[in-house]
Amino acid sequence: MADFHTLVEDMRSTFDTGRSKNIDWRIEQLKGIERMLVENEATFLAALKSDLNKPQQDAYMGEIDFLKNDVISTLRHIKEWTKDQICEKSPLTLLDTVFMHPEPFGTVLVIGAWNFPLHLTLAPVLPAIAAGNCVILKPSEISPATAKAMEDLIPKYVDTKCIKVVCGGVPETTELLKEKFDYIFYTGSTMVGKIVGAAANKHLTPCTLELGGKSPAFVDDSGNLEYKVKRLCWGKFNNSGQICVAPDYVLCSKEVENKMIPIMKKIIKEWYSENPEISKDYCRIVSNRHLDRLQGMLSKTNGNVVVGGRSNPEDKFMEPTVVTGVGMDDSTMKEEIFGPILPIINVESTEEAIKIINARDKPLALYVFTDRENVQEMFKKQTSSGGLVFNDTIMHLSVEELPFGGVGASGMGSYHGKHGFDTFTHMKPVLKKDLGWLGEKINEIRYPPYDDKMLNMIRIATKNRALPDLGWLKTGAVFILGAAVGFAAHNF
């Protein structure tokens, strides 16, 4: 095993030289990663196929092109994001300069996930680099082909003094977490997230935990039901359900369920044929251990398997599966499913659905399929979740202006777009005062000896009040200058 203490300390020494803080350096690294993605598409496609049987379209849209677009956006905005941010002033700071200076945390650790092994490893690395940090990235060993591809390729395109790849399993991750980092970013299960959080806490290291949980979907009888079911099934069975924000279970009335099941059967057949195992567009479970867990969960259900249910351990295959007649104590409701099993729970009202959701841990995502504005308002105001989507699934992740992250047991912190840059940035508050006589005259009111008259003046001066908008001064000055020039031209 590598000497991780020396590795981290060497990287910290490099960071202290200011190497990674240079804006041109950051841009060069981001462009290097973009070149890597462009020049090695075939390698990454093959790796993703090997690890998850990921279809080419999913590999492009959910992994390779997603990252390319992240780089493009970051390069477009990086010079703006890295500027000092001027702040509003108070009466006591009118003569001063007040701003926030974005500075990197230092040496950061990014621990990737196996379900989108390229995307979920590099997506946090990009803003970490843009913010000026040195980065150690640890891909998941559960997707070994993609991890090996990153280990081999990344050093060819970036500055290895500041960006390093560490591969390995639980022992390597455990040893890495013993080291003191300036920031840790982890994507994965809640159970491991607690371990990462505890390790970070020993060094008071700030961290982002992108976890998961049981993300519910509520479906009512309004709107086009076939459109709803298509979007629901796509979110659930894409990547064989191995998505942290996949809909985990459905809440709907018995009447809606009876209408949905035939549509689900029809759609699954249209997408994946009569036998999804031979479909080139259907993924595989990542490992036999994960398939065993899903098979065990399904074998213990008290519900009725009305769609699918078949699996093949030799091919790490489980077909799209729907289970009805499920209660809250069912085996499918005890933990996050993270696979192609969709339980349906019947509710009599919107209020009952909200009550069920609020009785559980806060989910990473909540999906509400309804055309009724009042129902949308109820879910918006009466529930809490990492993200809320009406009439679709997962697509909120494609909007870089929206932060992505959990709340409560589904995670802490967020990223995507500017939110990712902010995650890896310490906004250092700066107050810059001059040493002129006028400023010092104002300062004298705070120096001893004190007296009651001066105290009253200080209390009036320091009262929190909105300052007038002085933007009109610029307009007025331009008007006066123009009038003066016109008068001079006319009379002289």
Judge whether 210 counts as a catalytic residue.
yes
Question: 3-state SS string over the chain?
Answer: CCCHHHHHHHHHHHHHCCHHHCHHHHHHHHHHHHHHHHHCHHHHHHHHHHHHCCCHHHHHHHHHHHHHHHHHHHHHHHHHHCCCEECCCCHHHCCCEEEEEEEECCEEEEECCCCCCCHHHHHHHHHHHHCCCEEEEECCCCCHHHHHHHHHHHHHHCCCCCEEECCCCHHHHHHHCCCCCCEEEEECCHHHHHHHHHHHHHCCCCEEEECCCCEEEEECCCCCHHHHHHHHHHHHHHHHHCCCCCEEEEEECHHHHHHHHHHHHHHHHHHHCCCHHHCCCCCCCCCHHHHHHHHHHHHCCCCEEEECCCEEHHHCEECCEEEECCCCCCHHHCCCCCCCEEEEEECCCHHHHHHHHHCCCCCCEEEEECCCHHHHHHHHHHCCCCEEEECCCCHHHHCCCCCECCCHHHEECCECCHHHHHHCEEEEEEEECCCCHHHHHHHHHHCCCCCHHHHHHHHHHHCCCCCCCCHHHHHHHHHHHHHHHHHHHHHC
Catalytic choice (162, 207, 244, 252)? 244
What is the number of other CB atoms lying within 10 angstroms of the CB of residue 179? 18
- Determine the Cα–Cα distance for residues 167 and 66; give it in Å rounded to an integer: 23
Catalytic choice (34, 63, 179, 210)? 210
Judge whether 244 counts as a catalytic residue.
yes
Catalytic residues: 210, 244
